[in-house]
Structure 1
């Protein structure tokens, strides 16, 4: 597939990028190579194959989900200059 100036302009708008005029031909060539690679993948015969979510055939072992009492909040808050209950206290900046 050949990337045209119109296609490149549309991609520029959609991506919110500005491609310098001096680089547009280079971008069109590189995008053409990428699209060409994807077109090669379209030639693969995938009939009868199921989509794979992972390349690993075994699943993760599950464990019981048990709540654990954590002291992380207390450890973090002891380093703060000012706290209120379980929150950082900061100066008011909005009137």
Structure 2
């Protein structure tokens, strides 16, 4: 696939980037270099290779999802300027 100056102009317009007319050939050339690199990547055989999230093999530490400091509603509501029925009360902002 080859990008010409008109396609580069259209991509710039879609990206809402102002590109001067004299810079369009250079932009098209950069797009072509990027697409060439992507084509090189598609030639690599990756059959049987596991996807990875990092270049170093490491396991994430996982902890049990336990509530350790719950059941403190009264203490939390002591900080509220206005609390009603066990909740923070806030003034109405939408009419």
Instruction: Measure the CA separation in 2 of the matches of 1:48 and 1:10.
Output: 39
Once the two structures are TM-superposed, the CA of residue 5 in structure 1 deviates from its matched residue by 2.9
Q: How many residues align?
A: 72
TM-score normalised over the length of structure 2 = 0.58
Once the two structures are TM-superposed, the CA of residue 61 in structure 1 deviates from its matched residue by 3.3
Q: 1:64-83 counterparts in 2 under 5 A?
A: none
Max Rg structure: 2
Correspondence for 2:50: 50
Correspondence for 2:33: 33
5+ residue gaps in structure 1? Answer: 68-84, 86-95
Instruction: Measure the CA separation in 1 of the matches of 2:6 and 2:25.
Output: 13
Once the two structures are TM-superposed, the CA of residue 64 in structure 1 deviates from its matched residue by 7.2
Once the two structures are TM-superposed, the CA of residue 7 in structure 1 deviates from its matched residue by 1.9
- Quick check: 7-16 or 57-66, which moved more? 57-66
Shift >2 Å, 4+ stretches: 60-67
Correspondence for 1:24: 24
Residue deviations 1:48-94, cap 9 Å, x none?
Answer: 22211122212233467867xxxxxxxxxxxxxxxxx7xxxxxxxxx
TM-score normalised over the length of structure 1 = 0.58
5+ residue gaps in structure 2? Answer: 70-80, 82-95
Correspondence for 2:60: 60
Cα RMSD (Å): 2.7
